[in-house]
Amino acid sequence: MTTTNRPYRIGIDVGGTKIAGVLIDAAGTVLDTSMVPARAGSDNLINDVVRMAKTLCATPVPVGIGTPGQVDNVNGVVRAIANLNITELALGPEVTARLGVPTHVENDVNAAALGAKTVDAGDVGAHDTVVFLNFGTGLAAGVVCAGKLERGYRGALGEIGHVPVDPNRFLCPCGQRGCLETIASGGAVARLWPCDGPSMPNLLAKASQGDVAATRILNMVTYGIGDAVQLVTQAYDPRVLILGGGMCKTGRPFLELVTRELQRRQEGCHFLSTIDIPSRLRLASTDQPLGAIGAALALDE
């Protein structure tokens, strides 16, 4: 447990299976970390967040929370956290009431975008745009422009996973068919290529061995990933595009797969060659709690 009288803050990243937390100082340096299993239900989530905040810092300090679901970041309300069986929860007000500190609730991909921009974007200019593209169970992008999150009118900015452009026309949980998320996400790969262990590394390995079914599915997935990357690049024109989420834990083979697809698209296309998407790509760090770091930084938003 850390005690301080300096301007520290806590960031907490709520996931479907675990909750991660960090204590950072005013410079954004991570001073302490914590992780606990996520438990279903509103009361459990509030209790776990409050307990983690007290563990990270004995003195009450502001808390930023990144969470899946539909987030009203102005009022601190989150809706539809399906994995935790939460329909609606005034998470920010509840945590503030228990801890007596300012609490900010942010969409988890937005929070991860802030964390990735700080940790992985390198030397970007003050007015540059950085996009974090999350290939997790779903597919979404977080956009940071001139150091600030872009959210749009109803918080739907970056929800590219539900753009219905894939010709396979798979049914999406959102009710549409052909959403990018149904082909270019970790959840999609797990559905298309069920196996023991992480699906993406297994799919890559089998395809490299000449497995016909694996090659067919990998080609399908790769094309969808290329669409997702090209879509966010042409929509937001970022200086840096950071690839993260569960699929990207495959590491360099995943980045090389995406790069090859984009280079293939550039062949014979002066427009794509000019904007040079591959040169902008980065892999998100897997050894840093980006979501929790970003949740703490979102307190400045």
Indicate whether 30 and 158 sit together in one domain.
no
Neighbours of 125 (CB within 10 A): 9
With respect to residue 265, please indicate whether it lies within any of the assigned structural domains.
yes
Q: 286 and 244 in contact (C-beta within 8 Å)? A: no
The CATH number for 45's domain is 3.30.420.40
With respect to residue 195, please indicate whether it lies within any of the assigned structural domains.
yes
Indicate whether 272 and 127 sit together in one domain.
yes
Indicate whether 13 and 57 sit together in one domain.
yes
Query: What pLDDT score does 6 carry?
Result: 56
Indicate whether 296 and 203 sit together in one domain.
no
Strand 86-89 to 77-81 pairing: antiparallel
pTM of the model: 0.93
With respect to residue 2, please indicate whether it lies within any of the assigned structural domains.
no
pLDDT digits (tens, 9 = 90+) for 21-52: 999 998 889 999 999 999 999 999 999 999 99
Indicate whether 77 and 191 sit together in one domain.
no
For residues 275 and 230, give the distance between their C-alpha atoms in angstroms, rounded to a whole number.
10
With respect to residue 67, please indicate whether it lies within any of the assigned structural domains.
yes
pLDDT digits (tens, 9 = 90+) for 212-235: 999 999 999 999 999 999 999 999
Indicate whether 80 and 14 sit together in one domain.
yes
For residues 294 and 213, give the distance between their C-alpha atoms in angstroms, rounded to a whole number.
39
DSSP secondary structure string for all residues of 131-158:
EEEEESSSEEEEEEETTEEE--SSS-TT
pLDDT digits (tens, 9 = 90+) for 271-281: 999 999 999 99
Please list, in sequence order, all residues whose beta carbon lies within 8 angstroms of the beta carbon of residue 224, skipping any fewer than 6 positions away: 166, 180, 183, 184, 188
pLDDT digits (tens, 9 = 90+) for 78-127: 999 988 999 999 999 999 999 999 999 999 999 999 999 999 998 888 89
And the tokens for 241? 């595009």
And the tokens for 90? 């005034």
With respect to residue 4, please indicate whether it lies within any of the assigned structural domains.
no
Query: What pLDDT score does 81 carry?
Result: 92
pLDDT tops 80 at residue 2: no
Rg of the chain over Cα atoms, rounded to whole angstroms, equals: 19
For residues 140 and 153, give the distance between their C-alpha atoms in angstroms, rounded to a whole number.
16
With respect to residue 59, please indicate whether it lies within any of the assigned structural domains.
yes
Which H/E stretch holds residue 86?
Answer: strand 86-89
Q: Is 122 left (phi over 0), alpha (psi -120 to 50) or beta?
A: left
Range of the domain at 47: 9-110+289-300
The structural domain count of the chain equals 2
Query: What pLDDT score does 155 carry?
Result: 83
Query: What pLDDT score does 3 carry?
Result: 42
Q: Which residues pair with 140 in a beta bridge?
A: 134
With respect to residue 117, please indicate whether it lies within any of the assigned structural domains.
no
For residues 64 and 295, give the distance between their C-alpha atoms in angstroms, rounded to a whole number.
5
Mean pLDDT of the chain: 94
Indicate whether 166 and 130 sit together in one domain.
yes
Indicate whether 159 and 210 sit together in one domain.
yes
Q: 291 and 19 in contact (C-beta within 8 Å)? A: no
Which H/E stretch holds residue 11?
Answer: strand 9-14
Angle at 201 between CA 196 and CA 206, to 5 degrees: 85
